[in-house]
Structure 1
Amino acid sequence: MANVTTIIPALSPPAGKTSNFVDPDYIGTKFLVVNCVFLPLALIGLVIRTWTRLFVVRSFRTDDYFMVISLILSCVLTGVTLDMLNWGLGRHMWDVPLEIFSPMFSKLNLIAAIFYCAATGFTKCSVLIFYLRIFPSRNFHMVVWTIVFIAAGYSIASILANILSCHPVAKSWDSTITTGYCMNRPVFYFANAGLGIFTDFATVVVPIPWIRKLQMPVRQKLAVVAILAMGCSVGIVSCIRLASLYKLLTSTDLTWTTTNALMWCTIELNLGIFGGCVTAIRPFIRRYFPRLLGLSSGGGYDSSRSRKQVHPLNSLPKSRPDFSGRDAHYSTTLTTLRDTPGNDSEEHILSGQHTNNQNKIEEVEGIIRTVEFDVENSSRTAQME
């Protein structure tokens, strides 16, 4: 082992500090803990989502594939950043040997940035494409595709900017190259985070006007709003990450300040993956743990509170209903089950109950559409004519 007195630090220590290569200050432990908490959380969410799409809904679409890719990239990101702990991450730069910082730390830091940009791009596109399955409005689709274009565009641009941040490219990690030039990478990270925050909150805000128009119970609307709130929490984490990037922008102690920046990147990415998979949790619980939602109690629609006659569409009773009353009212219910061909909407979010021909409450896992019409007694009008 080389004598510590002959080791050249990656950065000269500030006044009053000396390099410590034996037992330096270290904050890498909290970074390890964060990865051990949030990556399994995202993995659990994706496993539930995948199982639900394959075996409950039996419909695996583009947004599901995107989310799987996002988690794979997140796993790679975690592996790369944890390896960075062996090359200076979590220590002050003056406690890191120059031969370790360059090229290994710089090279791994570049790889981590590339995988992070790709993973967040796939996550946001997955959530936005999922919206297209719920809301049929053409105007809404145009708005969503615009945000998809922005999210995918800046993600691809970020990947290319990281790869081509220096000329020659190797100058990004090899400090021995003195010719060429490099862009100010912290400033680029700061601008990239700003675009990320915009798309995070745009993803949450855009569906709200259309949610108000959905014909479903208030309780189910609140459930959808709760799902969107998960996206809002991701936006808040993005703001915190932006603050950590500001410190990175103003500091020369890269190995120390990069730790917090990467930590918030990990939290934001994996929380976004989990939030994007929350949509599958309710149908999963309905299928396997219905008591958790109180579904076994028959709660929900209470036929005793309504004086309407409710029957499935095309299943009207053979006997002629009595329309002689002054306030005669008749309604029909069309239930589209989950296996109906062409039903591309997220029917499990809107699943509920209806009354069958025997006036009994039964569960349906589909979209309930109620069509009501009034029949008035027109005999008096006919006599007057």
Structure 2
Amino acid sequence: MAAPPSKEKIAFMKAHSDESLVPDIIICVSICGIASIVFILLRLYSQYLVSRKFRLTQSDILLLIGWVFYAQFSIGLGMITKYGGGRHVILVTDMRLLNTWKIVDEVSYSTSLGFLKLGILRLYGNIFPSRRFHGFLWVFALVLIGFHIASILVNILECIPIQYYWDVTMKEGFCLNYGLYMLLTGVINIINDFIILFSPIPMVLHLHTSKQKKRLLIFTFGMGGSACIVSIVRLAFSLDFDTTGDPSYDNIRMSLLSLIELMAGILATSIPTYWPLFRHIMAICRPSSINSPTYIDSKDSKWNSGGSIHPSPQISAGVSAGQLESSISGINVTRHVELARYTNMGGNWIRVPDDIRKGWK
């Protein structure tokens, strides 16, 4: 609960009554809101490129539920400006409604963050089939659910009775040290973020693929570290949250960082699903010639015919694959593979008939 402002603080606020963070709130809410929608649409379109159907997975549903609470958090930030949020406390017009929306925002933040983390855990479960890893994901998911339920209860029952939060004239009431609570939950959230960030790395290292692809996959999952960075920055503001004499102004920066943290969480949850989209963009930028033969020159080859050796023209081996009847983009698989050799005669590539190939050495 915020402490009453001192006389010096009141004099300072009167001298700076024209200061306002309302434009910052509007800009941040607008940019983050648009960015979050773009991240989700790119995720859905990327998955559409694979199946050619708009189909929601369990991870998508958890992400969308998290986004709904994220939108509610954004609306709450906008609503507090109506009652004095973003301006000094001496300019607050309705303390009860201001703090009511503050509680709504805190509950929305914890709920959204919880669903986003569950969404990325479910995504990991879809990617990696290991039973042991699935067991770890279930245990960790239960821990996250318990932690966020406890956080929501604390956010609602910060002051008992709740009216004591904005009515300090009440004779009986009690409020938690909310700044200390924010510090503890911030540390736990960062630890959870790092566990989520590093948990798929051992699974990637055991994949039967090249080192380059492993590094690329680790880098992709590591992009989720952007949310960890925002969480660490946000932690620096936690001790002063709701403890100053001017909470309607001083708490805004941390609220904006919370909004950015949720947006980064939406991005971190979506990045691993963007691979089909990246391949689609690369295919547009660099069209591939899958159906044309690939030639490998061999300038030092000899033509052996009738026991005599003659200088040989350039020789090439080409592999041609039949085109699939399906028009689905992505990875094409065919069983119609033919190995053939070509020779450059007079500047033209000519396929060597099967009965002549026996004469090659």
Q: Distance in 1 between matches of 2:214 and 2:289?
A: 21
Residues 185 and 16 from structure 1, CA distance in 2 versus in 1: closer, same or farther, beyond 3 angstroms? closer
Q: Aligned letter for 1:46?
A: I
**Does residue 79 of the first structure (1) align with residue 86 of the second (2)?**
no
Matched, 1:199 2:192: yes
Task: Provide closer, same or farther for how the CA distance between residues 112 and 252 of structure 1 changes in structure 2, counting only shifts above 3 A.
Answer: same
Cα distance in 2 for residues equivalent to 1:147 and 1:15: 45
The answer to whether 1:221 aligns with 2:214 is: yes
Gaps of 5+ in 2: 298-328, 340-361
Identity of aligned residues (%): 23
CA distance in 1, matches of 2:221, 2:189: 16
Q: How many residues align?
A: 301
- 8 Å CA contact 2:179, 2:240 repeated in 1: no
Q: Which of 11, 21, 30 lines up with 1:36 in the alignment?
A: 30
1:68 aligns with 2:60: no
* DSSP 3-state at the match of 1:14: helix
When Rg is computed on C-alpha atoms for both structures, the one with the higher figure is: 2
2:288 aligned partner: 296
Partner of 1:187: 180
Structure-to-structure mapping, 1:1-385, within 5 angstroms:
11-14=5-8, 17-20=11-14, 23-53=17-47, 56-57=50-51, 58=53, 59-93=55-89, 95-97=90-92, 99-100=93-94, 102-248=95-241, 251-287=244-280, 290-292=283-285, 294=286, 296=288, 357-359=336-338
Q: Which amino acid aligns with 1:76?
A: Q
Aligned to 2:172, the other structure's residue is in SS state coil
Taking structure 1 as reference, are residues 26 and 215 closer, same or farther at Cα in structure 2, changes over 3 Å only? same
For structure 1, list consecutive stretches of 5 or more residues without a partner in the other structure: 1-9, 306-347, 361-385
Pairwise CA RMSD? 3.0
Deviations, residues 289-334 of structure 1 (Å, cap 9, x unaligned) = 6224x46366xxx9969xxxxxxxxxxxxxxxxxxxxxxxxxxxxx
What is the CA-CA distance between 1:133 and the residue it aligns to?
0.9
TM-score (norm 1): 0.70
Residue 36 of structure 1 aligns with an amino acid whose one-letter code is S
Secondary structure in structure 2 of the residue aligned to 1:17 = helix
Note the C-alpha offset of 1:249.
Answer: 6.2
Specify whether residues 247 and 165 from structure 1 end up closer, same or farther in structure 2 by C-alpha distance, changes over 3 A only.
closer
Amino acid of the structure 2 residue aligned with 1:28: V
Instruction: Give deviations 1:29-60, integer Å, cap 9, x for gaps.
Output: 22322222222111111112234445743452
Q: Give, in whole Å, the separation in 2 of the partners of 1:156 and 1:304.
A: 63
Contact 1:38 1:270 (C-alpha < 8 Å) held by counterparts: yes
Tell me if structure 2 keeps the 8 A contact 1:64–1:126.
yes
- How far the C-alpha of 1:278 sits from its partner, in A, is 1.8
Question: Conserved in 1, the CA contact under 8 Å of 2:86 and 2:252?
Answer: yes
